[in-house]
Amino acid sequence: MYKYIITAIIIAIFAGCSAPKPKHAPSWYTSPPKDFKFIYSVASGESLTHAKNKAIINLREQIQKDLDSVFTNKTTKLKLDESFDLTPILKENERLVNTMSLIELKIEKTQKFNDQELILLKTPRKAIFDRFDIIATKRLKNSKENYDSIQENDSWLKKYSILHNEMKNFAKLASIIEARKLLINSYNNISEINYLNNLYSDYIELKNQISIYVLSDLNSMGFVKGVKTALSSNGLELSSKPKSDKSLKIFITSTTQNVQDYGFNKSKSLVKYTTYDLNKNKVAFKQHTFSAKSRKSYSDAKAQSLIHQNSKIKKLGIFDFLGVK
């Protein structure tokens, strides 16, 4: 009797161990669903937690890849020329996707397969869209207000300074505007795209026409380099030959006092920066005082005051530094 019972138990154990495992992963894993309401993502892992974390990473990578392709494959309606550098937009796409909230993420399905946990996640497109919409609305409002502040009688340099500052936000605006369209394809973003196209075309047109000639009197030659560097880094071309009637001239003058200060050689310079248009009209003016001390010489002290100038340019921005109003 006992022999039959033991035999039955052994047969049951072997039968359980030899139970057939699924030959193929489920179709929801190999071909994740796609629809207009949700974004889906799958992954496998040693545990459900591991699989879920991988699926979240896959979901973000999937969205970023689709968003990047809008720009790299030129399906966007943004009118960007061949010289446009997409790098800032692609970096913004990565930042945007990796920081987006997924609080409404849900587990749709799970299944054990070949000692791995398979998982299917989904998140509603509308939930992400709504959060992006709040950010985009605020950014667009601020940008449009600054863009609309440009007056017809403003100097070319002031117009350029406003457009240039708004172009610093171009990548963020382009990224989030196209992200909303990617999430909900029926969303009409034409007016927003048109705004960015107008901003970009106005900026490029003015940038291609402005050139600036920076010169100084003999005492102020050392202050020229820092100003030129700042202008160039803000996209402006430096040239002694005007490119158009929108070209400008910056004349730097200064007076310097050298005094002894408790054993130090102190150099103090009052520097004036005057910007003229081609008709010799003054379009901007600002003066700054720079001073420094040195035990070596007055010339060494003055050289250190040039560092102070460059620090102030960095702090204020070149346009505020020059007195552009």
pLDDT at site 84:
92
- The token duo for 72 is 């790299």
* pTM score: 0.85
- All residues at 6 or more sequence positions from 71 whose CB lies less than 8 Å from its CB, including other chains: 78, 86, 89, 90, 93, 174, 178
Instruction: Give Cα separations from 295 to 27, 219, 259, 292, 299 (angstroms).
Output: 79, 21, 12, 11, 11
Taking 60 as the threshold, does the pLDDT of residue 15 lie above it?
no
Contacts of 290 (CB under 8 A, 6+ apart): 268, 269, 271, 305, 306, 308, 309, 312
What is the per-residue pLDDT for 101? Answer: 92
The four Cα atoms 293, 298, 299, 302 give a dihedral, to 10 degrees, of 40
pLDDT at 167: 96
Residue 123 confidence (pLDDT): 97
Task: Give which of 248, 250, 175 is closest to 210, Cα–Cα.
Answer: 248
CA 239, CA 247: separation in Å to the nearest integer? 9
Give phi and psi for 264, each to the nearest 5. -100, 150
Whole-number pLDDT of residue 46:
95
CB atoms closer than 10 angstroms to residue 44: 18
Residue range 62-85: mean pLDDT, rounded: 94
Residue 272 has pLDDT above 60, yes or no: yes
What is the torsional sign of CA 298, 302, 307, 311?
A: positive
pLDDT band at 82 (very low <50, low <70, confident <90, very high): confident
Q: Under a CB-based contact definition with an 8 Å cutoff, are residues 302 and 222 in contact?
A: yes
Residue range 283-294: mean pLDDT, rounded: 95
The predicted pLDDT at position 21 comes to: 57
Are 60 and 179 spatial neighbours (Cβ–Cβ below 8 Å)?
no
pLDDT of residue 35: 93
